[in-house]
Amino acid sequence: MRRTLFLLACGVAILGCGGSPLKSGGKDGGGGADGGTGGLAGGSSDAGGAPGADGVIDVAADTSERDATDASMNEAEAAPSFDVASLPGLVLWLDAAKGITLDPARAGVVTAWADQSPKGNDVVAHIKDPATLLVADAVGGLPAVQLGFLPTMLTSDPDRAAAFPSGTTDYLIEVVAKWMTTTPGDDADLFESGIGPNEPGCALAAVDGRIWASLNDGSSPTLVKSADATFNDGVFRVVGARRAATSLEVRVGGAVDGILIDPTVGVSLRTPSVGKLGAGMGLSIAEVVVIVGPTSEEDTERLEAHLAEKYGLH
């Protein structure tokens, strides 16, 4: 009898000291985030799960939950993040969270915006009053460049715009922006090229509540407008223009919202500008991506989905 009691006591002591097998790593065990095994196993001081009503930890249930968590984390680690810089033909990439130069004499005033593409097509503030401002928490917790209610423009240095070829070419423009006008018929060029009077060019513009994509041969524009006319509301969106072979598209929120077939006008992407405003237009831009050359529908949609997720635009 005493021997039986002694064995039972030893068993209880072993259970009490040994702990749950899910706690084998301890607080500093090898199974933590840097231990190579991933997930919650090894390292968490409470990884053994909560005891039930009878004080017993359900090891099987906790292991199942851990396995599901591990699988989810491993899947997330395996999925590569989208890299804008890897897109073929990238010639301009402006991100308000990167490359902003502020005026040291005026708080928050933007004087330059550095291109994150390999081409170095930085833009500078062409008109400084009203001030072009950096708004720190503009959309999805990320910043945006706010342009005022008078003509304001950020223009690329012509000497560094050699990446933008002339001629008839495919291209993709994607912009994360919001706008609102107080003047009917007023517009804001989210992106424009070929701003000389006789120079062919292209533009992605907000006109009242619509998005316009245009090609210009130097005398008259070829236009395609969004079917939706309700965008003059001060809400951030992913909007774009895509020229692909014989079509010119207006894109809103990751989908085609207007299309023109067979635009034959030549286009120049030299001397681009961002944020050219009419007198009654207010505009904020968080990101601009411009690609010269063919971009597949799949890559276009991936880029748009990335931008929507990044800024919480779902």
Local confidence pLDDT in tens for the 314 residues of the chain: 444 444 434 443 443 444 433 333 333 333 333 333 333 233 333 333 444 443 333 333 444 444 554 544 454 444 457 899 989 999 899 999 999 999 898 888 898 999 999 888 888 887 665 678 999 999 999 999 998 666 667 777 766 655 565 667 889 999 999 998 877 777 888 888 865 555 667 889 898 889 999 887 766 778 899 999 999 999 999 999 999 888 999 999 999 999 998 767 767 666 778 887 766 778 899 999 999 899 999 999 999 999 999 999 97
Domain identity same for 224 and 244: yes
268 inside domain: yes
84 inside domain: no
Domain identity same for 27 and 117: no
Domain identity same for 74 and 131: no
Domain identity same for 46 and 104: no
Can you give the pLDDT at residue 61? 41
User: Of 41, 56, 78, which one is at a domain's C-terminal end?
Assistant: 78
Which own/partner pairs from 80-87 qualify as long-range (CB within 8 Å, at least 24 positions apart)?
Answer: 82/302, 82/303, 82/306, 84/116, 84/289, 84/303, 84/306, 85/116, 85/117, 85/118, 87/289, 87/291, 87/295, 87/299, 87/303
The three-class DSSP label of residue 292 is strand
Phi, psi dihedral angles at 96 (to 5 degrees): -65, -10
Can you give the pLDDT at residue 137? 95
CATH number for the domain that contains residue 189: 2.60.120.200
Can you give the pLDDT at residue 287? 97
Can you give the pLDDT at residue 142? 98
Domain identity same for 69 and 117: no
- Total of domains in the chain: 2
Can you give the pLDDT at residue 164? 64
Can you give the pLDDT at residue 49? 41
Structural Rg of the chain based on CA atoms: 28
Strands, E, within the chain: which ranges?
Answer: 90-95, 100-102, 110-113, 123-125, 133-139, 142-147, 154-156, 171-181, 187-192, 201-207, 210-216, 221-225, 237-244, 247-252, 255-261, 273-274, 276-277, 281-292
Ordered alpha helix ranges (H), the chain: 2-18, 59-78, 297-310
110 closest CA partner among 121, 99, 102, 122: 102
Domain identity same for 113 and 93: yes
Domain identity same for 196 and 287: yes
Can you give the pLDDT at residue 295? 93
At 286, the amino acid letter reads: A
Domain identity same for 26 and 149: no
5 inside domain: no
136 inside domain: yes
Domain identity same for 295 and 192: yes
Domain identity same for 142 and 288: yes
Can you give the pLDDT at residue 268? 67
Domain identity same for 241 and 290: yes
Domain identity same for 35 and 101: no
Can you give the pLDDT at residue 77? 46
3 inside domain: no
pTM above 0.75, yes or no: no
Can you give the pLDDT at residue 162? 56
15 inside domain: no
40 inside domain: yes
Can you give the pLDDT at residue 259? 93
1 inside domain: no
Host domain of residue 241:
89-310
